[in-house]
Chain A
């Protein structure tokens, strides 16, 4: 993946057109609603957030593998930072520092070639890292000679590393696959569409609460609507992974549709337990980084391993 390859890639260019078209369409729709006298200030803020984020994401993918892996590692670091600040783990610099180091190592593992096989991306190291990082985190209280409250600290640090670091970094590792453009662009696009679909369907048809104690605004109608739309998307974007069989498309749609909403719910109950509304305020109209990538964290590893089990991450399947 380089920027030359991106310009040659049919898949990349098609996504560019689709996403550009959707942004223009959404802008026109909001303008029409605004002219017709509806209050769209909330939607407008969210839309402006997209106008900033989309070029950054597309630009990163355009620049290629290095930029994608570095970008995912940075998002993971700042995402974990939000989690650490929300829980109070941030005051513990040893724990936080170790998790940062672990995330950087995940990026390195995704980037360097496998020393034995020579492929780009050291899969074995990537998968073994949690053992080492968790081991290191567990040793911190020993070196400090402190027991009071340490279980909470290590538990938060391990959840932080595994969830926001390791699981999310699978997205970066996808840059090493043969169909990297198709996989990554599809995943980001489908996950965001799933989010928007859940929100929109909930607004339009929502009546029955889904899980009131975790997230009071989510409805069963919104959730079902999002799953239906997510099931349809892989068929429209079949060109991203031409080697997929129809049941693969169904599975992919389910992974995004169900997994995306589960990821959303995970962040929701974490926030609810801590007692905060948003994880941060970095992205205007969206909240923190974690409020934006919550669904992706859950979907990325499932999608990655599904791909790996069915097709392998490098082999071009013979059909």
Chain B
């Protein structure tokens, strides 16, 4: 008789907090169940409480991996973006979240990892390493990465400069990048307030952009960032 082959889960020696912080995560049935229920509740809440409106959903690529970029006005942005992707893709949609904030304590990590499915992004020390994790993730078909290229929430309401990370991630690949603009985040949940207010939110999804024609150079990175920033700003200016 040949022996059975066991495949112990690679994270078998990890404690609970390590499970939540490490990435990529193993597929946990409980996590998926809770996340699915949370996603459905979230969609209901956004529709009712924030009267959320999403335009241009048909612009989302039906197959393959893609990146969603959006202006960052409040925590509602992530939630809103999560509502824009089809429900069956919810477990393969990863909002890049600042590791120093969203994974700083056990309860926060639990919410970020289980409910939001966040990808812990180190924006301070190991930025390049986190970008490698992102590009590995996007190599698998059907993953969605949500990125806020400004890197932090705006306090003024004005959109900030796009950081180079998104450019470095996309340059030299054929990944579609979908620009989005969220209107109303600043008034609905101002930075520093504990709870969101019942203000209207409107998300506009633009046409996907590809940058495979650009060579792999630092000029291309700057050009991609500028182009995406323009695309997002353009969506913000377009009439309702």
Contacts and interface: CB of A to CB of B under 8 A. Distances in A.
Contact of B6 (A93, A274, A277): A274
A60 interface: no
A84 to B, nearest CB: 9
A8 interface: no
Interface string B1-29: 00011111100111110100000001101
A87 B6 CA distance: 5
Given A93-B29, A96-B29, A152-B4, A278 B13 contact: yes
Main secondary structure of the interface of B (DSSP, over half): loop
B16 A282 contact: yes
Given A85-B12, A97-B29, A281-B14, A91 B4 contact: no
Given A93-B29, A96-B29, A97-B29, A282 B15 contact: yes
A90 interface: yes
A88 B13 contact: no
Nearest to B16: A282
B9 A88 contact: yes
Contact of A86 (B4, B8, B18, B26): B8
A275 interface: yes
Main secondary structure of the interface of A (DSSP, over half): helix
A207 B141 CA distance: 58
A284 B18 CA distance: 13
A278 B12 CA distance: 8
Given A93-B29, A96-B29, A281 B6 contact: no
Interface size class of B (residues with CB under 8 A): 10 to 19
Interface size class of A (residues with CB under 8 A): 20 to 34
B8 A88 contact: yes
Contacts of A282: 15-16
A280 interface: yes
A251 to B, nearest CB: 37
Contact of B12 (A96, A100, A276): A276
Nearest to B3: A273
A274 B8 contact: yes
A279 B9 CA distance: 11
Given A88-B7, A88-B9, A281 B15 contact: yes
Nearest to A87: B6
A115 B162 CA distance: 67
Nearest to A283: B15
Contacts of B6: 86-88, 273-275
Counting chain B CB atoms within 10 Å of each CB, the highest count among A85, A93, A274 belongs to A85
B15 A284 contact: yes
Given A281-B15, A282-B15, A87 B29 contact: no
Counting chain A CB atoms within 10 Å of each CB, the highest count among B6, B13, B14, B27 belongs to B6
6 contacts: A86-B9, A97-B29, A274-B6, A275-B8, A281-B14, A281-B15
Q: Which 5 A-B pairs have the closest CB atoms?
A: A88-B7, A85-B9, A274-B6, A281-B15, A87-B6
Given A86-B6, A274-B6, A281-B14, 18 more contacts: A85-B9, A85-B12, A87-B6, A87-B7, A88-B8, A91-B7, A91-B27, A93-B29, A96-B29, A97-B29, A152-B4, A275-B8, A277-B13, A278-B12, A279-B12, A281-B12, A281-B18, A282-B15
